[in-house]
Amino acid sequence: MKTSRRSQRMKRHYARMHRAGGLNLVSLMDIFTILVFFLMVNSSDVKVMQNTADVPLPQSTAQQAAEDTLTVQVSGQSILVQGREVARLDTIQAGDSTVGGLANELSWRRDRRGEPPENGFEVTIMAGRDTDYRLLRKIMQTCVDQQYRQVKLAVESVGEVRNG
């Protein structure tokens, strides 16, 4: 039997309205792209310096955030630049005013960076609380001699300390 036009139209309408809905992937991809960019932009606010357990940093009430600079670390019996050993503490002579292996590494890195700025390059020294001051002074003098004049010492923030 032949169906009427009205019944055919109603059948088409019913089929169109009751079909399974599709997922619009373009909108979903746009949302995830925006989310990724948002997280990338906002994740750069946190600065944490790489520290090892064998270097107990001095405690300070400093409020200034850490910057990402060249790191010289005194760890155990060695001096590390960006995690690479450049000198051993037992080979440093008592009469020397600089550290030879550290000077070579800093010179190589300075030459790769090009012309130093007027104030010199920045360097952060991570040394433990029990590091001998004479050794720390030699490291700082070596840095200054190699055009790394903006020397910063890494400390551990403990918040505000109150007297009394």
Quote the tokens at residue 138: 């030699």
pLDDT tens per residue, range 3-17:
899 999 988 888 888
CA 120/CA 132 separation, integer angstroms: 26
Quote the tokens at residue 25: 């992937």
Q: Over 50: is that where the pLDDT of 157 sits?
A: yes
Beta carbons of 78 and 55 less than 8 angstroms apart: no
What pLDDT, on the 0 to 100 scale, is given for residue 46? 52
* Chain mean pLDDT for the chain: 82
Backbone torsions φ then ψ of 70, nearest 5 degrees? -65, 130
Backbone torsions φ then ψ of 64, nearest 5 degrees? -75, 135
pLDDT tens per residue, range 82-138:
888 999 988 887 778 888 889 999 999 999 988 888 888 999 998 888 888 888 999
Which band of pLDDT confidence, cut at 50, 70 and 90, is reported for residue 50? Answer: low
Quote the tokens at residue 126: 């991570």
